[in-house]
Amino acid sequence: MQLYNTLTRQKEEFKQISDPVRMYVCGVTTYDEPHLGHALATVIFEVLQSYMQYRGINVKRVQNFTDVDDKIIDRAAENGVDWFDLTQEHVASFFEAMDGLNVKRADVHPRVTEEIDHIIALIDELVNSGAAYEAGGSVYYRVRRNEQYGKLSGRTVDGVAELARLEPDLLKEKPEDFALWKAWKPGEPSWDSPWGPGRPGWHIECSAMARRYLGDQVDIHGGGLDLVFPHHENEVAQSESATGVVPFARFWVHNGLLRMGGDQKMSKSLGNFVTVRDALKTYSTDAIRMWVFQSHYRSPATYDVENLVAAERAVRRLRQAAEAVNAGVGTGEAYDADHVRQRFVEAMDDDLNTPRALAAIFDLAREIFTEQAKGSDISDAQATLRELVGVLGLTLEEPESNDTTDDAKIEELIEKRQSARQDRDYSTADEIRDQLAEMGVEIMDTPQGTTWRRA
């Protein structure tokens, strides 16, 4: 399988050197509702894992929660709530959102607040080796001591130092040094440490958690493109300084950022985000996932109502194909869908090219319909369709409706219409159909009888 590696800026053959493959994905900071950008990132790495597993490769996926940081503290203060309560609430809302999107849990979901000992131990190592230093109760990483600093993001330390809006902190040796441990300030949560009370800096947590759950090296490290600098760059620096294992991550995989119609990225700081919860009120789980897969993971995806509606209809087509009634008599010959499976695998092997994989699936859907019309046995083809679609986490289930309309009432109307049709009383039949349509019910007359669904 080929994967694009941010570190080398090219696609590389992924070779399994550990079993299971070790995958670390940067998770969310729990101070607000997860939005569609988080959904995008999480779904992509979930599918990378499930596709690899489909190909017979075991993958252990770890995705963290950053449950203590500046934004959480600030938000809690604004809302007058306890920071830890805020954090717990949003861990829950993250899981709720991901369940809603049919995202399988990672193998481990560590939280910073539960990893403090390991974080402190890692910082301690860095201090002892001289890679970091204590100053005023905080600990900073010596960026300039690391000759390789900048290799992931393609930046030079001078470039960073010159124009970056670096924290003015007189205690630091150099402005480009970043905090591993932040000394306690009034009103902030803190833990005891060899340097006094404080809390972890933003980047060190991931190094500590990756190491604890996956070891000194990971095979795949994922996250949004916006994390490349400084977050991932700093992770590389810390981890490699501490362990001496280079590279810390063999493959850096970054997903493109989600943009809003106005071409700006969706972000909490811009306040233009759509929460997963809201999206699920209007669109089905499958539709949202379909929308994610219809563009390549490294391209920026655009959130647009039209795109979601199109995805919803596209899913409906696949559902239709999966549920098509097997004619199975005619030639009796089973239609062979194996070539589609091959196309699917080829596409996914090429840097997780989901749009191309979907193209194969849609072609299969068309073939199912045409073969059905010919009277071929389509059950194998349908099984293949479900198999491939399953790798992408699409269920093809009818979206649940919170419509309270009584099913029995609908069935009753359909029966009434059926008898009217038998009496060739088409105007009554059409009236009933209109009536059903007003109730949001669509009906379809088939040789096997009339079926219906909520529009």
Partner RNA sequence: GGCGACGUAGCCAAGCGGCCUAAGGCGGGGGUUUGCAAAACCUCUAUUCGGCGGUUCGAAUCCGCCCGUCGCCUCCA
Please tell me the distance from the alpha carbon of residue 355 to that of residue 293, in angstroms, as a whole number.
Answer: 6
Query: Applying CB under 7 A, which part among 207-215, 238-246, 277-285, 420-428 lies near RNA?
Result: 420-428
CA 76-81-82 angle, to 5 degrees, is 85
| Contacts (CB under 7 A) with RNA, residues 66-105 | 66, 69-71
Among 27, 110, 200, 393, which residue interacts with RNA (rule: CB under 7 A)? 27
Residues contacting residue 180 through CB under 8 Å, at least 6 positions apart: 123, 126, 132, 139, 140, 141, 200, 201, 203, 204, 238
Binding mask 127-166 for RNA (x = CB under 7 A): ----------------x---------xxxx--xxx-xxxx
One-letter identity of residue 213? Y
| Contacts (CB under 7 A) with RNA, residues 165-204 | 165-167, 176, 178, 202
One-letter identity of residue 161? A
Q: Cβ closer to RNA: 243 or 294?
A: 294
Among the listed residues 80, 4, 29, 10, the one whose alpha carbon sits nearest the alpha carbon of residue 268: 29
Q: How far is the CB of 39 from RNA (least distance, A)?
A: 8
Taking a C-beta distance cutoff of 8 angstroms, is the pair 87, 176 a contact?
no
Please tell me the distance from the alpha carbon of residue 297 to that of residue 422, in angstroms, as a whole number.
Answer: 53
Q: Cβ closer to RNA: 58 or 264?
A: 264
Q: How many residues does the chain have?
A: 455
Binding mask 33-52 for RNA (x = CB under 7 A): ----xx-xx-----------
Q: How far is the CB of 252 from RNA (least distance, A)?
A: 12
Among 112, 214, 429, 441, which residue interacts with RNA (rule: CB under 7 A)? 429
362 binds RNA (CB under 7 A): yes
In 55-107, which residue ranges form alpha helices assigned H by DSSP? 70-79, 83-100
Type and span of the H or E element at 26: strand 21-29
Q: Cβ closer to RNA: 58 or 148?
A: 148
282 binds RNA (CB under 7 A): no
Tokens of 91: 């861990």
Please tell me the distance from the alpha carbon of residue 39 to that of residue 94, in angstroms, as a whole number.
Answer: 9
Taking a C-beta distance cutoff of 8 angstroms, is the pair 451, 398 a contact?
no
Binding mask 370-389 for RNA (x = CB under 7 A): x-xx----------------
Q: Cβ closer to RNA: 325 or 383?
A: 325
CA 37-42-44 angle, to 5 degrees, is 100
20 binds RNA (CB under 7 A): no
| Contacts (CB under 7 A) with RNA, residues 195-254 | 202, 223-231, 234
Tokens of 61: 């996926």
Q: Cβ closer to RNA: 8 or 299?
A: 299
| Contacts (CB under 7 A) with RNA, residues 296-315 | 296, 299-302, 304, 306-307, 309-311, 313-314
One-letter identity of residue 32? D
Query: Applying CB under 7 A, which part among 48-56, 77-85, 278-286, 369-377 lies near RNA?
Result: 369-377
Among 8, 58, 129, 264, which residue interacts with RNA (rule: CB under 7 A)? 264
